[in-house]
Every structure is written in structure tokens, then in C-alpha cells.
Amino acid sequence: MRWTLKPKPNSKVVRHLSEALGVDPIIAALLANRGIETFEAAKKFFRPSLEDLHDPFMMKDMDKAVRRIEAAITNEEHILIYGDYDVDGTTSVALLTSYLRSFYEKVSNYIPDRYTEGYGVSFQGIDYAEDNDISLIIALDCGVKAVDKVAYASEKGIDFIICDHHRPGNQLPKAIAVLDPKREDCSYPYKELCGCGVGFKLIQALGSRKKESIEALLPYLDLVATAIAADIVPITGENRVLAYYGLQVINATPRVGIQALLQQVKKTELTISDVVFIVAPRINAAGRMEHGNRAVALLTEEDPSRAEAFASEIEAYNASRKDADRSITAEALEQIVQNQETETHTTVVFDPSWHKGVIGIVASRLIETYYRPTLVFTKSGDKLAASARSVRGFDVYEALTQCEEHIEQYGGHTYAAGLTMEPSKYEKFKQAFEDVVSETMDPKFRTPELLIDAEISLANITPKFYRILKQFAPFGPGNRTPVFMSSEVRDTGSGRCVGEDKSHLRLVMQQHGSPTFVGIGFSMADKESIACGEEVFQAAYVIDENHWQGMTQLQLRLKDIKV
């Protein structure tokens, strides 16, 4: 790994924060490096408040969206809530469906089939709306590029409201309203909402017209927090407030569907990380292995016994997803070795039999071994479909844009995207993608970077220090769990490899007579010769707690070790 120590913030700012808050200068420096430089800003950071949520009507077209929905209700029109099949899409659909159904009956929902319809708004979905006498479609987490689809709906007398968070194209669809904070003409103060976050702003606006308090909308924040975690959006600003309160709902009074899901895994007191690795994959598994509408059914169900049945079904989908993930990853790694692609700047692999629902996960797995922008292709009908994943610092969406002459359709973000193309274009695209990456990617991004917040002494690590550190949560992009480094550290002689396959490293670390700390390095057995010899070493780590037999102890979760 390439260790990068963050620059030291302004010493005057650190001193001011340390004195104003009564905290260790290290804590003050962590705040300053997050752009928090005043007592008031620190207060908002440590004590997120619903009052800090922005007025939803600051979003472009929000007034038009609200007026059209109110007219639909007054005229007793049928409303269709349409969303993508991933976590952000299904939680968005569940959010708006459950909110509208709480006071209006003529609401149904629609999730496109990943395999027959693909990503986003589909002609088939619009035909479904026409066949069922639906005159208003509200699309969530998709639609901002669906110019032709919205025009097709308009010809059929069907109106569209779009709630999206992806980058718009050169032309916006001619919908009744396009809610997207990334619109160039939208002055909404916070640009990093996920799709479900935009959906929440819509129900916040609808609720304000009904004189509902923001507290009345708290029960919907379990869905928003799940989407924020799964979609890897920055947990800063408004997202921090939504995630903070959403986690409280998940841990105290989650909706029946989420409660049933958590009973399957016997997990209590979830963090954002738990949502990412426990809740999100299970919701995603429905769309990957069967159909996304199964996830919406779970998340909108109010009967505990039915929710339990849905949760068991989704647990089975998740088990199937894991099996497919393991086998396809192994085949892809073998393909890379056979093709000797380790000398290239990209990884592009293809097999027509690979399950389309897991190729995104496989792409992420391949980056763990071969650290470079990666695309995994499979067959989808008479087309090829791919999931793209990138490495820190490189915009894979922009790279695809430079190859768009070979692509039929694509969309996504800086680090994750999807695309479809004609099979005949595959080889030319593969070379074009390699050329773009090799010409535009800074060589330093070809080595994994470990960002370190500060160098500290082990003696700085106290229970009080850790208690304050925990208040930095929820962690995520824009507010990562602080990583520290310490130099001239020694193992006290107890270091050894542990685990069933001896792949993990367990140390008892000390520095200049400091208190000792257990250090755990998962999959770091290869560092044993550095850490368990007589020489001192540098350690990079995260501070956390170990709970064992009723005892709680601070420990260091190792990220890397070097001489």
C-alpha cells in the first residue's frame, strides 16, 4: 500500500477547536481536516439535527412535482411508483409507496426486470402503466436520461415526475418535473443525495403542504439510511443527518420488513458498516437472483408473519448470490491468468454464462487482486452487458464516456457504472478502454492508497479519546473511520498467526513503555516476519473495541505494517 499522511491542518484552527470544545488536539485536527473549523460547525457535526435539513422547495421543479401529485390525488388518478432494482431503487419505491398509501389508495409500484428490461425506465414499464389505466409515473433513482421513454409515455397521455441523483445528459426529459440536485440549473444546497434521499425530499415537501412535522417522517428514515449506506454516497451535510436518524430508527423501531430481515441474521445495534455488509446485500439479492419487486414487497409489508416469509425467501436468494459470486470470481481470475492480462492497465473479462446479477460484485472482487479499473461482461439477450468498477482517484464513468462510440447505453458514477453493447463491438471497446485508461490514469493511482489521518502515540489512546472518536459516526465517504499510524512499535513477544487457516495476525503492541494493545490484522499473515521479529515497525490502524466474555477492551484493527 501507498501510505499518504493527510496534511496537518491550520494550527490556529486546531488550537481554537481544542480549547472551545475541551478536546485533545488530535480530535481537533481530525475535525479541521473534515472542514469543521468553528464551535458551531462542530456542534452540528456531533449533534445532527433535523432542523438542519434544507427546505425541499429549494430543489428545482419541486413545486411542480407536488402540484401534479396533489392534482392526481384530487382527481383520483392511478399513480405508479417506478424504481431501479438495486437497493437505492427498491428502498426509494418502498418509501414513496408506503408514504402515499398512508392516505391514498390508488398507488402501485413497478420494478423493471434486470434481465428482460435492464436498467432504468423501460418501454415495457410504460406499456404496463397504459394497460392499467395509470396516468402518472413517479420514477425514482432513474429517469434523468430517459428522454425517449418520457416522450413515449407522453404520447400515451402518461405524465412523468423524475426523482434522480445521477448526472443528467445534454438534454433533460420533458417530464412534468425533474428533481435532481445535479441539474446545472438546480440551486439546491446539497448535491450528494442518493435516489432515496431525493424521494425523501419529495415526501418532506408533500408533508409540509399537509402541515406534517418533520418528526412525523422519521419512520421512513430507516429506508433512507439503508440507501445512503448501500449507494456509497458521502455521509456529509444533509446525508449525515438522514443517516444519523435513520440508524436510530433501524436500531429502535425499524419497519416490519427490516425487522424480519435482521431476525434472519440475529444482529442487534447496527452501524452504517453493518447496513452495508448485512442489510444491503440481502435487499440487493432479490433483484440479482429473482426480481427486485420481492425486496419492495418485504419493505412495504406490515404483517409480521408475511414479512418473515419474505425475509426467509430473500435469505435464500442471498445464499445463491454468494455461491454465484464465489464461482464466477474464481473463473474470472483464471481467465485473467490464462490471458496474461496482468501487464495491462485494465481488467476486462467476459463469459456468456456468467450470472448478470453478480457481475458487479465480481468486478469489485477482481480489484482486490488486480488493482485497476475493471469491467466484467456477460451475455444479456442478444447484447453484452457489463458492470464497471474503478480504483480510488480514477473516474470510470468519464472513461466510458470517451469510449461511447462503441457502447449502446451506459450510466453510473465515478467508481461504478453499467453498460450494454453489441457483441461485435466488444474487441474494439476493450482496446479503446485500455487506451483511455493508460493515457489518462495517473500512475500513482495504480497502487492502493492508505489515507492516514494522523500519526499518534499509543499513549494517546485512552477510553475518553475513543468515546469522543465514536461520536464521529456514522462513518462513510467524506467521513471515513479515522486511520492512525504509530512509529517505533514493537510486539511484546506474543505475536502469532491465528485463525483456522492461520491467515490473520495477532500482536500485543507497545511503544516506548506505553500501555499494551492487542492488534488484529485480518489476512495479514504475510506481515508476521516484520511484526514478530525484534525490530521496531510502523503500524497503521483503526481503533475499535473487542467484546469478549462480558469484557470490553480497546484494540487496534491493523490496516498495514511496514519496516
Q: Of 398, 429, 446, which residue constitutes the final position of a domain?
A: 446
**Shared-domain flag, residues 433 and 467:** no
Q: Of 388, 423, 446, which residue constitutes the final position of a domain?
A: 446
- pLDDT single digits (tens) 434-467: 999 999 999 989 999 999 999 999 999 999 999 9
Contact 239, 197 (CB under 8 A): yes
Give the pLDDT band (50/70/90) at residue 550: confident
Note the pLDDT of residue 437. 96
- What's the angle, vertex CA 470, arms to CA 464 and CA 473, rounded to 5? 160
Contact 123, 227 (CB under 8 A): no
Q: How many domains does the chain have?
A: 3
**Shared-domain flag, residues 121 and 230:** yes
Cα separation of 205 and 208, whole Å?
5
Residue 264: domain span: 56-314
Q: Of 280, 297, 314, which residue constitutes the final position of a domain?
A: 314
**Shared-domain flag, residues 180 and 272:** yes
Give the pLDDT band (50/70/90) at residue 341: low
Q: Which of 319-323, 446-450, 550-554 has the lowest mean pLDDT?
A: 550-554
CATH number for 440: 3.10.310.30
- Of 129, 191, 185, 174, nearest to 156 by C-alpha is 129
Contact 94, 299 (CB under 8 A): yes
**Shared-domain flag, residues 352 and 454:** no
Note the pLDDT of residue 268. 73
- Note whether residue 15 is domain-resident: yes
**Shared-domain flag, residues 164 and 308:** yes
The stretch 133-141 carries a mean pLDDT of 97
- What b-and-e string marks burial along 392-427, b requiring 16 or more CB atoms within 10 Å of the CB? eebbbbebbeebeebbeebbbbebbbbbbbeeebbe
**Shared-domain flag, residues 433 and 557:** no
Close Cβ partners of 433 (under 8 Å, ≥ 6 residues apart): 346, 348, 373, 375, 399, 400, 403
- Note whether residue 541 is domain-resident: yes
The pTM score is: 0.90
Q: Is 353 in a helix, a strand, or coil?
A: coil
Task: Tell me: pLDDT of 255 over 90.
Answer: yes
The stretch 55-81 carries a mean pLDDT of 98
**Shared-domain flag, residues 441 and 491:** no
Contact 88, 194 (CB under 8 A): yes
**Shared-domain flag, residues 309 and 215:** yes
**Shared-domain flag, residues 274 and 151:** yes
- pLDDT single digits (tens) 15-27: 999 999 999 999 9
- Note whether residue 325 is domain-resident: no
- Note whether residue 174 is domain-resident: yes
The stretch 203-216 carries a mean pLDDT of 96
The stretch 136-165 carries a mean pLDDT of 97
Note the pLDDT of residue 420. 92
**Shared-domain flag, residues 7 and 64:** no
Give the pLDDT band (50/70/90) at residue 342: low
- pLDDT single digits (tens) 87-112: 999 999 999 999 999 999 999 999 99
The stretch 80-92 carries a mean pLDDT of 95
The stretch 54-81 carries a mean pLDDT of 98
CATH number for 470: 2.40.50.460
Task: Tell me: pLDDT of 241 over 90.
Answer: yes
**Shared-domain flag, residues 441 and 459:** no
- Note whether residue 320 is domain-resident: no
Q: What is the mean pLDDT of the chain?
A: 94
**Shared-domain flag, residues 156 and 276:** yes
- Note whether residue 148 is domain-resident: yes
- Note whether residue 330 is domain-resident: no
Note the pLDDT of residue 334. 93
Close Cβ partners of 212 (under 8 Å, ≥ 6 residues apart): none
- Note whether residue 322 is domain-resident: no
The stretch 181-201 carries a mean pLDDT of 97
Question: Chain centroid to CA 140: how far?
Answer: 16
